[in-house]
Structures are given as C-alpha cells and as structure tokens.
Chain A
Amino acid sequence: MSRYPDLCLNPKECVCQEMGTVDPSIFWTLLFKGAFYGMKKREVGEKYCLSGHPTLPCNVLKFKSTTIMLDCGLDMNSTLNFLPLPLVQSPRLSNLPGWSLKDGNAFLDKELKECSGHVFVDSVPEFCLPETELIDLSTVDVILISNYHCMMALPYITEHTGFTGTVYATEPSVQIGRLLMEELVNFIERVPKAQSASLWKNKDIQRLLPSPLKDAVEVSTWRRCYTMQEVNSALSKIQLVGYSQKIELFGAVQVTPLSSGYALGSSNWIIQSHYEKVSYVSGSSLLTTHPQPMDQASLKNSDVLILTGLTQIPTANPDSMVGEFCSNLALTVRNGGNVLVPCYPSGVIYDLLECLYQYIDSAGLSSIPFYFISPVANSSLEFSQIFAEWLCHNKQTKVYLPEPPFPHAELIQTNKLKHYPSIHGDFSNDFRQPCVVFTGHPSLRFGDVVHFMELWGKSSLNTVIFTEPDFSYLEALAPYQPLAMKCIYCPIDTRLNFIQVSKLLKEVQPLHVVCPEQYTQPPPAQSHRIDLMIDCQPPAMSYRRAEVLALPFKRRYEKIEIMPELADSLVPMEIKPGVSLATVSAVLHTKDNKHILQPPPRPAQPTGGKKRKRASDDIPDCKVLKPLLSGSIPVEQFVQTLEKHGFSDIKVEDTAKGHIVLLQEAETLIQIEEDSTHIICDNDEMLRVRLRDLVLKFLQKF
C-alpha cells in the first residue's frame, strides 16, 4: 500500500486510513466512490468487434472516454472466390466456361467461371473489410497496431472513414507492413483487369449461386485493393513507438506496447488508467524464433485480458512442420522435381531460410538454387538484418561481432539464394531446375505464384508446400484443378497454442478473459478435443463479428489530487488504531480527465459597504454539517445503561445483522445493526430523544 493515507469518501462518512505520519505538504490521494457528487456508476469499458477473424482482429475499445481501435486486420479469404490473376496470359484460365444457372440462364457467364466443379468470380479480387457500420469510425481516437499482419486494412480506415486520430506502431511493424501493402498493391495493379463484376453481389442473385459464393457474407461491402497513394497517406498517420514506452492518451489512459515474440516488432498492448488495466494480447509466441521474446510479466494484474491471434493450427507443432517441410522439399528435389512455397515476403520465411541453411548441406542439396521472388524481396531481406534491437538475444549478439543476424545473408553471398522482384527480367536468365521458389501470394490468387502453379502444376514430380496458415490450401488450389503436382500442407504458425495459453493465463492471472468465440469451444471438426479451447476461471467472455461487449469491470475509483494547502488544513482524527478520519470541504476541479480538490473560496468578509457581489464570490451553499458519528454499540453495556436509567423488562434478541433490544414495558424497539441504529417507538418523542442520547453516548462525534 502507498505510504500516503487513502481517503475513502462517501456522502455519509469520510474515513481516513492513516498508515503513518502524514506530511500534509504531499498531495493526498483520494479515492472516492463513483456515487460521490452524483457521479453515475457506469461501465468504463465497451468493446466493439469489427472483425470475426480471430487472427486478423479489428476491435474498438471504449475505455474511460477514449475510443481505441485495436488492430485493423484485413480478411483476404474473400479473394479465394475469385479467379487467379495470371502474370502471363493463361489459355487455361481464359478458356474456362462461363457459369449458367440450372435453368440454363447464362446472364452471369461473363462474371462467373467454372473450373472443375467450382465457380469463381472473374474479376479483380476484393477484400472483406472490418465492420464500418457498428460504430462511427471518425470517433476513433487512436489505433494500436500489434503486428504487420494486423494492419493491412489501415488505408481503408484512415482514408475513408473521417478518421483524424493517431496510429501507434513499432518501426518494424510499419516498415514490414509497408512492404506487405506494397507487394499487395503491386500484385494487383500490375495485372490490370478491365472487368469488375458486381452483378453476382445482388442479394437475389447471390442466393442462386453455388457454395461457397452463396454463403459469402456482406459481399456488398467487399472492396477492391487500395492504391499506393492511400497506403502512403495511411502510413503517414503512424507514430512510431518502442517497447515499454508509455503513451498518454488525453490524460485518461496510458497505453504501452510490449514485445509479443511473434514477429519483428510485434506487440501486445497494455491500456490502463490509474485503477483499471486492460491487456490486449494479439499474435504472441513463446517459441524461440527470431523476434525478441514475449514480455509476459507486464501482463500481470489485468482486470481484463483481450486474447486474440492464437495459432490457427493448434494441432500442428511448428517444429514438426519445419521438419516435414524439409523432408518433403528434399524428397522432391532429389527426384528432380521443383518445390514451390507460396509465402509472405516476411516472417516465417526468415526462419525457413535459416532451417534450410542448416539442412541443405546435410541433405546434399547444396547445388539446388533457392529463388525468392517478390517486388519487395530485396527490401525484406535487408530490413530483417537491420532491426537488431527487435531481434532475439542470440541474433542481437551477432550484430556486435559484427555478423549479419540472419544466415540468409550467407546464402545470398554464396549464390544459393537469389532474389528477384518478379519473374520478368533477370530471373528468366538465371532460372534453372530443379529449384525451390519462395513467392507470394499464399492465397494463390495473385502474384508470381500464379505463374508457377500454371507452369509446374502438370507434373507430379513437382511439389507445392503450403506453410502459411492463413488460407485453406484446398480452397487455394481449387482453380488449378485438375492438378498433377504434389501438395503438402505444413502450416507453420508460431503463435500461442492452447497449452501455452493455459500456462500464460495461470501465470498472469487476469480477472477476466475476453476472446473470439472460436476459442471458447473445440474446433468444429474435432468436437471432442476439449484441450483445443481456452480453459480458465471464470469462463472467458466471447465475442463475434459486429457484436458489442460490455467489459466486465466496474469503474470504482477515480484518482483525485488534493492541493497542498487543503491537505494542510485537514485534521485527521484517529478513530481506531490505523484509521483516521477527516472531513473535507473543497471544490472539485476537473479538466482533461484530471481531478483536483481545491480549497473552497473564503466566505465573503462581512462588509459594511454596499459593494456589489461578484459571481465568483458566491459561496457554495454549504449547510451546517451535522457531526459525524463513528463507533459501535456494545449491546451488553447498552442494556446495563438502559437499566441504570430505569428501563426494566429488557429483552435482547439476536438478528442476522445485529441485535434488537426490546423494551417491553415501553413497547419500544431498538434495532442495532452494524451501520445503523433505529429506535422505533410509538409517538413518544421524549422517549426517543432519551434513548437517542443514550445511544449517542457510545459513539464518537467529530
């Protein structure tokens, strides 16, 4: 406890809990209950869920008069409904038959194409945005970004909703986020598509379409990709922050990013007022990969812990998957086949390259070329080497040697790994097979990967290995059917699994956990796996897209500072050991969410003259305060006193809350409870006053 006395005020009583000698010159900390001065008790937290995707979250937290957006992930699963955008003219894709209704009506055949029993929209791919209707996004004060994957919807929010606030993110998140956005824009813009399909989105028509188009939600809100200009504008609104940096929001709330261990610069956030603490855990990892380890200790003592971004593949251990990846890669290449790895240009690819660096020599694959093709490949590989302060300890120490922290530098030096902005240009000169190609996009709908799928899909010698867990590999492959090449699914997701979450929650012990509804039940396909859900007490509160959740904590206390001169004037009276009381008369001054008790204006001196009263001289209408009482009434002594004063025939009954003293002769009841005493007598005011005075003898007044 603080060494300063905590004053707990309510309209009836004022108790000073004295912890030692008080230095009145120090500001006293006052806690006062919400009801004081008519202040309404209300929830301080509300959470608006704008995204249903547990790993691409977008939530808005209203907390203490601030509106904070937590992440703005972009769900790209919508693109799986579209045909791939081929870099090179693909006769196969362009010759796909149009789709017609069962009755033969072919009015949609320009928009929808059929491939191996699946129907795809033949148009520029579109993305499913976070909810924009649930809350007026122009009222959002700040956006907190937890990692570069969770900021892909930023341009939509900052450029199209009237947002005027600030975005907070770490430097690697911004730089790598920029690369991801740049790559996305580049992938889409370099294959201009004249056609933009919209007819199928008509609700009446959508109903007639086959699954999964029929079941796609809110297709009317799907939007085309943003432009580079919008990206730049959005990124210009970001303010860079470092781990553990404390950022004040309007004096009411303090936010702090903490390392989350998942990716370069990835963060969890602490959002706290003086008496409430909300932790936002998003995309965290306890594995030792390249980023700085997760800071768990700072998450302790949270009132609410919002938990998102757990692993999407809880049954797959990342280590096993890396082993599987290597085995399959080696097997394919040894048989003369090529390996295609659809991936993002940053993140797991660094770890994969590191594993391969160790593995290729032992597997006799030193002569096999590795190609990394992305418009941002070069920047990504170089950026990874310069963010030393954001790396794990081992890699940081390498920097001081000095050595490049990631071994892919050596792979590049020795020409084992080559990178190109696209398949055009130098790549076509250097290309030799068998080889391993890392390229985007993992959805297989745009990017250079489309070309390789078309090129290598016909041979069973080749293998495509899916390592990114964001997309269903079966759906990703649907427009490439029939496919001869082998497909291996090795999702590598280093984010927390349920065992780790369980340990984390035991460690940090939040009062309440809030999480997406997907985490509160076993996965639908494995309903018996009760180990694949969050198990905590009290049970986690869940939310789903477009839902508003009242966060389960009550606003109980507010911090009020007391001016030194006012504090000086207080005269605490010890009413029992360790507890002192003082009455305070003051003016409460509130500005910028800061409250200060100031001395009341002095009462106007009685003057003889008829000086005009000024408004500021108005004295608050202070009534004469009745003395405050404290103490308790010992029943036995009280009865003895009554007897001394001539009352006889006294009976005492015990009740749940205290005692009833019954004066049978006088037909009077005295109800003594912990915090009140009632005298009930029949129209005998004299008697009541007599009894009251006897009661008051046992209490202290001040």
Chain B
Amino acid sequence: MDPECSRLLPALCAVLADPRQPVADDTCLEKLLDWFTAVTEAGSSLLLLQENPCLVELLFHVLKSQDLSSRILSFSLRLAGIFAAQEDCFQYLQQGELLPMLFGEVGPLGGAAWTAPAVRSGWIQGLRTLAQHPSALHFLAACGAVDTIFSLQGDPSLFVASAAGQLLVHILDLAMRGPAEGRRSPQACDWPACAQKIVGHIEDSLCSTAIPQVTQALSVLTTAFGHCHGLWTQGLWVRLSPLVARLLEKDPVPASHSLVDLLLSVARSAPSSDRGLWETLAQTLSHLSPTQAGPLALGILKLQDCFIHRLPKDKRDSWSSPAQSRAGFILRTCSAAFCHLPSGLTLWILGHPVPQALRTQAFGILLQPLACVLEAAAQAPGPPGLLEGAAADSMMVDTLLSSKSACVGLLCCALAHLGLLQPLPQRPSPWPQAPLLGAAVTTLRLCSGSAAPTSDVGGRLCAILVGCGRVQRAALDFLGALSQGTGPQELVTQVFSVLLEYLVSPESSSMVLKKAFQATLRWLLSSPKTPGCCDLDPHTQLFLRELLPVLQKRLCSPCWEVRDSGLEFLTQMTRHWGGQAGFRQALLASEVPELTKQLLRDPESYVRASAVTATGQLSSWGLCATPASPECPGAQQESLLVELLHILSTDSEGFPRRAVMQVFTEWLRDGHADVAEDAERFVAGVLQAASRDLDWEVRAQGLELALVFLEQLLGQRSSHCPYAVALPETAPPGVLDQALQVLCRVQLFEFAFRALFDCDRPVAQKSCDLLLFLRAKAAPCGSSQEAGDSPNVASVEATLQRWQAGEQGQPLGYLEPGAVVALLRSIDLEGLRDTLAESSDHVEKSPQSLLQDMLAAVGVLGENEADCY
C-alpha cells in the first residue's frame, strides 16, 4: 500500500466507524473492497493489518457500536472475510476473537441488524471469501455457521438465498478438496464431518414434502455439479441419485424446472459411463409433462457440444475450428470410434457417449408437437414414419388442445428448440428436414386460417391457433432456420407460397411481417442457382415477380415498422442480387426504386435511415429510380447525391445522417461512378458537412470515409495483425506530394485535427489512428519541406493548442502540405493514443483519490472547512 493511502486510512476508518458520518455512496464501499482485495492479493494481509492497526480497530468498533448503518456492518463483514482468506491472517484475527464475534452467534447474527438483507448478504459474502483454508472449515464448524446458512437458503431476499446456496457448495467443495483429495473415494463414509452435514441436509431436503426445500436442494446440487470438478462429485451423485430418482415417482414431479437443471448439470459434468444417469434422464423424460420435458430434451441433444467446449481452455485454444468440427463429425457418426486426436480429446469423447436410445427419445419429445400438427392437419393419412419415433400421442394432443396458452407455449418451445438444434453439428441424424418443413408450413397455415384440416383435432387446433402472432413469429423463425437445408421442390414451393401469403396478408402484424421478410430473404439466398447459369433460377424469378408488388404496397404502409422492414429487406436483397440480370429486370420494371426514393422524406427517422441505406445500395448497382436521360447522363444519380448531402446537413435526427455517411463511405470504397467522377469535391463536401455534425457517430464515420480516401491516395494500411511483421510502406515522394496537396484541398486535415480533440473519445481515437497512418506514409521519407520551414506551422500549432483547450471556434485556415508533415511530426500522436486508450476515469481511479473522495464527501479533508468562513 502506498504511503499516502496509509496516511489517509485512519481518517477513513474513523469516518466509517462514526454513525454520524453517513457514507453517501455505496459504490465507494464497493470500490474500497475491490481495492483491499487487490492489495491482499498482492501481498500479505497480516502485514497490512499490522501496519494499519486502524483496520482491526474499525472491525472491533463495528462490533461495539449499536447504531451503525447496515451497509457499514455489511462492509465490515466482507472486509474481515477478505483479510481472513489468508490463513496466517485468519489465525491473527482468531487470536483476537474477532472472527467469532463477527460471524458467530454473538455478532450481528443475533442482533437487530440481522433484519437488514444487506447485513445477511455481507455475512455470507464474508464467509465465502474467508473459507479458503482448512482452518476456516474448523471455524465454520465451531461457530455453527452451517446451520445458519441452511436457514438462509429460504431467505425472503432472493440474493441472500442464492448466495447461501452458493456458499454451501463452496464449503462442500473446500471440505472435499482437502489434502486427501486424490485419494478420496466416491464412497461417502470417509467424508469430512462438515461435508457429511451438508450432504445430510441436502438429503433431508430432497425427501421433504415442501417443494421450496426440494428446489433449494436441487439448486445447490446444480451449482455443485456445474462448478466443482473434483472426483468427489461422482460420489455425491452415487449417493444422491436414488433420492433424485424418487422425486420422479411423485405425481406431479416436484420442482421440475430445478430437476431438469440438475440433471443437465450432472450430465454435463459427470465423467461417467454411468448407465444410471442415462436411465434417470430417460425416466425423467417420460415422467415430465410435454412442456417440462422440452428443455431437458434439448439439453440432452446438445450435450456432446458441451463436451467439446469443456476441453481445458489451453487445449481448446490450440485447436482450430476444423478440428472441432471434425470432433463434432466423429461424435455424430461413431462416438466410440478411435480417432487420431490428442489423447485428452479422445478420452473426452469416449467417455461421454449419450446412448442413441436416449437421444432418440429426446428428439421424439421435441418433434411431438409438430407431429401432432402434421397429423391433425393431414387431409389423408400421411406417409408412414413422417416424423419417425414421434407419432402424435394422445397425451400430447390433450395438452395441445387443453387451452390456448398451453398450445401456444408448447408449439413455440418446440419450434424454438428445434431451431436452436438445427445448425449444431451434433443435431440428430438423419435430420427430418422434409417433415419439419411440412410442419412449419402447416403451422403457419393453421395460424393464418388457410389450412383446411378435415379432422376434428385439426379443426380445434385451427380455432386455437388462428391469428396467433406468437406462434407465427416462432414458426417463421424456424422456417428461416430450415433454409440451411434442402427439401423436395414441392415443399420448397409450398414454403415460398406460405411466405408470400404472409407477406401479402393485411392481417400480418408488423413483427410477423418482419419475420416473414427475414425468412423470405434466407430462403431466397439459399435457393439453388441454375446449373451452368449464373442468373436466378426460374422459380425464384417467378416468385420475385409476385413479391415486388407486395413489397411496393408494404413500402406505402401507414405503419412505419412495416415500411422499415420492407426497406431492410430490399437492401439485403439488392446487396446480394444487385448484379443478377433477372433481379435487375424485375426490380426496374416495378415501382419499388421510385417508392424507396420517396421514403427519403418519410416522417419517421428510422424509415428515412433505412431508405438512405436502400437507395445507396440501389444506386451502387445502378438500380436507382428512373434511369438517367440520354441527354444528361448521371443527372438522376447526381440528384440522389445532392439529396443525400441535403439529408446529411439538414436532417434533425441522427439515424438518417449516420446512414448517409455509411452509404457515402461505401460509395467511395466501391468506386461508385458518380463519386469517382470527382472524388475530391465529393470528399470535401461530405467532410465539411460531417465536421459540423453534433452526432459523434457521424463524425466518426466521417473519419472512416477520410481513411478510405487516404488509402485510395496512398495505398492500403498494413495488416492489422499486431504480430505480423510489416515493412514500413511509405508512398513514393511524387505520389505523396500530390496526395498531400489533394488532402489539403479537401480540408481533410482540418477535419482530422478537429476530431483529434473531439470531446467524444471514439472520434479522437479514430482520428489519432488516421493521423498515425498518414504519418507512417508521409513522414519517414521526408518531404521537400522540412519541419518548421513553413511559416504558418507555428500559428497552426497555436490554434491546435486552443482547440485542445476546448476553444474550437477558430478555423485552421489553408494548410500547406509541408506544414502538415511538420505538424504530424511535432504532435505526440503515440502519447495521445495511449492517453485516449485509458478509460475516461483513469485520472481519478487511484485508491488514493478514492480515499480522498470519501473523506472529502464527509468534510474531513481540510480544504472544505475554509468554505465555512
């Protein structure tokens, strides 16, 4: 600890111990604790206490004082815990009987302060920090803390209750991780008394008829299996699994959510080829109601993914993604096969084969709701084995038809779960792509009322689902996810037709429509190209012809969300297909480009922003409204440029202006014809507008545009990889002089220097990067004019200093290239960059400043006293 802090500490402790000096700010106490943690991690706590006796005094004082605030009490408990985490310091405090007084029954535990949740929370956190060594275990046992923790599990404060559970796990882990860990057998007979006590308590809770207690026990176990990786966890499972299994015999299964969490946690952590676990999982799947079983089924099917990711971090980092996907492939195909991967990985794979039967059962549970939908809506009995192993059973049908909320909940979960599973490498194989497509389409049709089921169940399902936005959204998301696979042409046609139905329907809500646009885009982009032809396939062409009139209408919707989604869709479609002749033809024949342009004047700023992006994209591909007349080529485009510049300089909202800057940057980068015609004028205009903007993102984007321009003049920046060795690439002198002339003409430097002292840090950082790049290009090779040669350098420097001081009113005036080079050399850009890289509060972040602040807040520091006179 630095001497200045040591000097301030007694005063601070006095303030903290004084109930008349309330500490106003909780965050100060938190920062103080963080600081003490850092100090004790760096050195000896014992030494700290010995050098600063005021700390121990504070703790003693806290015990004596009756009217201290609960937050100071809580703080002291946590502080004591931090000190006592080191065994020698623990002993030191024990000698003074301080710890039993703080954490034992004579302390706050029995007093009135205990009613404050903050004190209970501090007590737990203090013990949590303290419990790091065997002495702590003895202490806990001696002071009866474990019993208190048991009771705190049911605390009315959720934070306290949760922390109590975690503390139990921590103590259990500490007890079991003793010096004998390696030899600790899974048998429970030789476990330490403390562990026996905790496990006994968990056992009692599991057998309890009170559901909250069962939930507490399950959540403690879930934490234990999730966070503790010692071998003892196996023993724990062996001991407790019969009790867990017994829960399944009850009807309904108590605390089913917590039970699912526990089982998944065990399955993820257990290095077991333990059949029992898989049997319990299978049993649980069949006992839980369809709604409860879904998350468990998904968890089981995702299990193998977890194993890959549970490799030790160093190993995981050393394996590139192909290795992982190879591992995934192996898992999918032959989980027990020998493979030529490092032994650790092999071991992991071999150790965790989820039995195929269990995976099938789990997958069946996820598929069942959709199987019901398919079966109910089938006009005639469908082909056998539509969803193999997932024939709609009567229980599922009953659940689906029991109420609207049950039906909607179940279907949404099933769709979401399958959607999550779809892209995973370990998804079940064979993946029933076609039936799933059919089910998604049917669900959407039931929701829109366009399905005409003949069965009674189908009719009732239709009545429940019709117009249900939640299911529509979930089904559209799922349908979008399925676009990654293929399907029979007939089904794909159905997919497009149902998507079109949703896009056309006036009944589609704006959210549903957005999802429909997203799903349509995914399907369009995944549609196959005609072999031997680079253009769109005939089906897509046909679909486009129907789609564009719909898009037209949507762009005129009174609901701004709809117009916005329509524009986003158009932008994406154009980005991907702007070069496809079929798309271009269809788009130009429609009124979409003209409508898009009109939306640049939309009253809603989000829509204007999307319209800017869309027109920018259309223009990049030469698809903007009304082709230029032969007499005046480019007139139309120019007018768009002017219109966008107008938006940039006049729009009252930030979003459209940011969008314009992004479009302009893209145009410059891609060499948009009209920009390329007179790039210099373009850049000058844009930078002038951007420099005045109040939105920092616009200014930052202006720097991005400036950088693109620089790169075009001077060549690319070197590789961004910090480890890559790159030779300095300077521009040849001739090119450089010319480029500097240009940059001076477009007033890029004025813009960049102004940005360098921008009050928003990201702008300043970006500007700093840009100038560093420029200096790297320009300065090393020297220039015809050396630094200081230019007469106006001094005045420019003076101006810059004023800018830095916040007086940015004065213009920089015209800069000569030589002066620029000189300036670039004279400014300490590296230093500036380092300063900017630090967080904004770095100056005030020191512990000393914290202590001073706290003291100043209560008026202990002298200077404030002067104010009294």
Contact = CB atoms under 8 A, between A and B. Distances in A.
Decide whether A and B are members of one complex: yes
A428 interface: no
A530 B603 contact: no
Contacts of A317: 506-507
B443 to A, nearest CB: 15
B557 interface: yes
A116 interface: no
Contacts of A316: 506-507
Interface in B441-467: 449, 451-454, 458-460, 462-463, 466
A320 B507 contact: yes
A605 interface: no
B556 interface: yes
Contacts of A531: 462-463, 466
A324 B595 contact: no
B341 to A, nearest CB: 55
Contacts of A530: 459-460, 462-463
Contacts of A528: 451-454, 458-459, 462
Contacts of A359: 558
A279 to B, nearest CB: 26
A490 interface: yes
A529 B603 contact: no
Contacts, number: 73
Contacts of B466: 529, 531
Contacts of A315: 449, 507
A327 B557 contact: yes
A361 interface: yes
Nearest to A527: B452
Contact of B556 (A321, A355, A361, A363): A363
Nearest to B451: A528
Contacts of B451: 528
A327 to B, nearest CB: 4
A323 B598 contact: no
Interface in A301-329: 315-317, 320-324, 326-328
A331 B552 contact: yes
Nearest to B559: A323
A328 B506 CA distance: 11
Contacts of B604: 362
Interface string A358-401: 11011110000000000000000000000000000000000000
B766 interface: no
B80 to A, nearest CB: 61
A327 B507 contact: no
Given A326-B556, A334-B556, A531-B463, A362 B603 contact: yes
Q: For B463, B594, B595, B598, which residue has the most chain A Cβ atoms within 10 angstroms?
A: B463
B595 A334 contact: yes
Interface string B558-583: 11001000000000000000000000
B598 A364 contact: yes
B373 to A, nearest CB: 14
A465 to B, nearest CB: 12
Contacts of A331: 552-553, 556, 591, 595
B459 A323 contact: no
B71 interface: no
A335 interface: yes
B554 interface: yes
Secondary structure class of chain B's binding surface, majority of residues: loop
A328 B553 contact: yes
B506 A323 contact: yes
A526 interface: yes
Contacts of A361: 603
Nearest to B553: A327
Question: Which interface class (under 10, 10 to 19, 20 to 34, 35 or more) fits A?
Answer: 20 to 34
Nearest to A365: B556
Contacts of A358: 558
A324 B507 CA distance: 9
A330 interface: yes
A697 B462 CA distance: 69
Contact of B602 (A321, A335, A362, A527): A362
B601 interface: yes
Given A321-B506, A530-B459, A334 B598 contact: yes
A234 B604 CA distance: 52
B62 to A, nearest CB: 60
A317 B512 CA distance: 15
Contacts of B554: 327
Interface in A489-546: 490, 526-531
A331 B550 CA distance: 11
Nearest to B455: A528
Contact of A529 (B454, B462, B557, B591): B462
Interface in A583-619: none
A363 B563 CA distance: 11
Interface in A328-367: 328, 330-331, 334-335, 355, 358-359, 361-364
A328 B504 CA distance: 12
B558 A323 contact: yes
A493 to B, nearest CB: 14
A355 B557 CA distance: 12
Nearest to B377: A528
Nearest to B509: A320
A324 B506 contact: yes
A327 B556 contact: yes
A364 B601 contact: yes
Nearest to B453: A528
A98 to B, nearest CB: 40
B579 to A, nearest CB: 28
B513 to A, nearest CB: 11
Nearest to A499: B467
Interface string B484-524: 00000000000000000000001100000000000000000
Given A334-B595, A361-B603, A531-B462, A490 B454 contact: no
A359 B557 CA distance: 10
Contacts of B598: 334, 364
Given A320-B507, A528-B452, A530-B463, A326 B557 contact: yes
B602 to A, nearest CB: 7
Interface string B638-672: 00000000000000000000000000000000000
Contacts of A326: 556-558
A355 B459 contact: no
A352 to B, nearest CB: 12
A487 B454 CA distance: 33
Contacts of B603: 361-362
Nearest to B463: A531
Contacts of B506: 316-317, 320-321, 323-324, 490
B590 to A, nearest CB: 11
Contacts of B559: 323
A109 B552 CA distance: 46
Contacts of A527: 452
Nearest to A328: B553
A56 to B, nearest CB: 26
A528 B554 CA distance: 30
Contacts of A334: 556, 591, 594-595, 598
Interface in B523-553: 552-553
Interface string B577-611: 00000000000000100110010011110000000
Q: For A321, A322, A355, A364, which residue has the most chain B Cβ atoms within 10 angstroms?
A: A364
A641 B454 CA distance: 71
30 contacts: A315-B507, A316-B506, A316-B507, A317-B506, A317-B507, A321-B506, A322-B558, A323-B506, A323-B558, A326-B558, A327-B557, A327-B558, A328-B556, A330-B556, A331-B553, A331-B591, A334-B556, A334-B595, A335-B591, A358-B558, A359-B558, A362-B603, A490-B506, A528-B452, A528-B453, A528-B454, A528-B462, A529-B449, A530-B463, A531-B463
Interface of B: 449, 451-454, 458-460, 462-463, 466, 506-507, 552-554, 556-559, 562, 591, 594-595, 598, 601-604
List of 10 A-B pairs having minimum Cβ-Cβ separation, nearest first? A531-B463, A330-B556, A320-B506, A324-B506, A327-B556, A326-B558, A362-B603, A528-B452, A331-B556, A327-B553
